[in-house]
Amino acid sequence: MEKIRYPRVLCDLSRLRQNAKEVTSRCHAAGIRVAGVTKGINSRLPMVEQFVAGGCDQLATSRLDQMETLRKAYPNIPTLLVRVPMMSELEDVPRLCDYSLESDLSVLEVLETVCARQERTHKVVLMADLGDLREGFWDRDELVEAALHVEHHLPHLELAGIGTNLGCYGSIVPTVEKMEELAALAGRVEAAVGRELEIVSGGATTSFSLVHWGTMPKKINHLRIGEAILLCSDLRNAWGIQDMTYLSGHVFTLQAEVLECRAKPSHPVGKIFMDAFGHFPTYEDRGIRKRALLGIGRLDVGDCLDLVPRDGGATILGGSSDHTILDVEDCPRPLKAGDVMEFDLIYATLLFLTAHAEMPITYLP
Ligand SMILES: *Cc1c(COP(=O)(O)O)cnc(C)c1O
């Protein structure tokens, strides 16, 4: 038996596969193809395999090093680059990606010359910014012009379609109205180029809510989905979509070990200045309370406050590079050094945990 090292992540592969199946089957029934977005798990292959087995039509990530892994493991599954590429990345884009999201004409021009030199063709999806203020053409006429330019003047690029992204920076809700805007824009592009577009990509996990409610406009035929398949925490917990019972929120479990557990004052004692990260936090004085110190920190999870303890009554107080501190006064379990506590993850913590090559991940079949 190999010795267990903490912290460690447990991943239930059959639940993950089932989530992928539930999402893709609902999308397919609505005429929508699914790009499974694997950047949240650093495209680690045992987990990517469940996206494939669950029926995702394409694999997508934001990073070219991960794309290399996907391409090697699944040479026959179309790949989509979901971060609009850097000028400095273009050499590798045609080789590794079948499709990419694009938002800049000068990048498209260089991509054309790269493809011509490499004697390859590459499919592009032009992004429309519908208000979230991250990537995408803001001016609709400019997007239609760019589409025409790709269609007629960039012979090694194929105009696959258009897309949008919502709910990332600007926190904009993908409403039916926003999707109708995208559909109308797709109609304009189709009229301009005189043919149907292969892809009208309506967004990410948050747009899946419209598939769930059956209100997605027909014209939208593509979504890029990661979080709903991996965690299904945003739609259920933040959006309050309680009847999304067909998706498991328990694919992942994080386990961390207790280093010490004892009663201490809840307010620091002495002259308060700055914490380990240059911040000046405030502390609530709740008297003497039982605290647990865990061997997991910001190096592992980015922000310790994002961890969600499964023990009722336990709350996260904070942390530093290598430690997380919990208030466990109201936790019925008598905790002591060597005990293991379990946590649910959100997207950000999953991203950090799986980015560390040395983080142990235990796969349950
Ligand atoms: C990350 C990303 C997605 C997937 O988002 P989820 O919320 O994980 O479904 C889709 N599109 C783009 C452009 C992204 O960057």
Q: Over range 125-147, report the average pLDDT.
A: 96
**Mean pLDDT along residues 94-104:** 98
Does residue 112 contact residue 160 with C-beta atoms inside 8 Å?
no
| Distance, CA of 85 to chain centre | 17
Distance CA 282, CA 105 (A): 48
State in Å: Cα 358 to ligand 1 middle: 25
pLDDT tens by residue, 16-40: 999 999 999 999 999 999 999 999 9
Question: Which residue puts its alpha carbon closest to atom 12 of ligand 1?
Answer: 82
- Residue with CA closest to ligand 1 atom 15: 82
Q: Running DSSP on this structure, what letter comes out for residue 114? A: H
Measure 172 CA to ligand 1 centroid, in angstroms: 14
Q: Which of 37, 59, 206, 207 to mutate to test the pocket of ligand 1 (most atoms within 8 A of CB)?
A: 37
Looking from the CA of residue 234, the nearest atom of ligand 1 is 7
**Distance in Å, CA 170 to ligand 1 centroid:** 14
**Identity at 116, one-letter amino acid code:** A
pLDDT (average), residues 48-60: 98
Mean pLDDT of 202-228: 97
Q: DSSP assignment of 44-95, as one string?
A: -HHHHHHHHHTT-SEEEES-HHHHHHHHHH-TTS-EEE-SPPPGGGGGGHHH
Ligand 1-lining residues (CB < 6 angstroms): 37, 39-40, 62, 82-83, 101, 165, 204-205, 224-227
Of the residues 3, 21, 39, 271, which is catalytic?
A: 39
CB 212 within 8 A of CB 26: yes
Q: Which atom of ligand 1 is nearest to the CA of 37?
A: 4
Distance 234 CA to ligand 1 centre (A): 13
In 179-246, where do the E strands start and end? 199-201, 222-225
The rounded distance, in Å, linking the Cα atoms of 250 and 12 is 8
Closest Cα to atom 14, ligand 1: which residue?
82
Q: How far is the CA of 127 from the centre of ligand 1 (A)?
A: 13
Confidence check: pLDDT of 278 > 90: no
| Confidence bin at 240 (pLDDT 50/70/90) | confident
Contact present, 39 and 82 (Cβ < 8 Å)? yes
309-351 per-position pLDDT tens digit:
999 999 999 999 999 999 999 999 999 999 999 999 999 999 9
DSSP assignment of 162-180 equals EEE--SSSS-----HHHHH
- Provide φ and ψ at 90, rounded to 5°: -60, -30
pLDDT for position 224: 98
Count of C-beta atoms within a 10 Å radius of residue 171: 10
C-alpha 201 to ligand 1 mean position (Å): 11
Helix (H, G, I), strand (E, B) or coil at 349: helix
Residue 178: active-site member: no
List the residue whose alpha carbon is closest to atom 3 of ligand 1.
204
Indicate the pLDDT class of residue 237, thresholds 50, 70 and 90: confident
CA of 40, closest atom in ligand 1: 8
What is the pLDDT at residue 1?
Answer: 65
Q: Which residue carries 């386990």 as its tokens?
A: 255
Which pLDDT belongs to residue 193? 98
Taking all residues of the chain, what is their mean pLDDT, rounded to a whole number?
96
Atom number in ligand 1 closest to CA 39: 1
**Phi/psi at 146 (5° precision):** -60, -40
CB 2 within 8 A of CB 355: no
Alpha-carbon distance of 328 to 311, in angstroms, equals 9
Tens of pLDDT, residue by residue over 169-201, are 788 889 999 999 999 999 999 999 999 999 999
Give 115-124 pLDDT, tens digit per residue: 999 999 999 9
Q: What percent of the chain has pLDDT over 70?
A: 100
Residue 2 has pLDDT above 80, yes or no: no
Closest ligand 1 atom, residue 228 Cα: 9
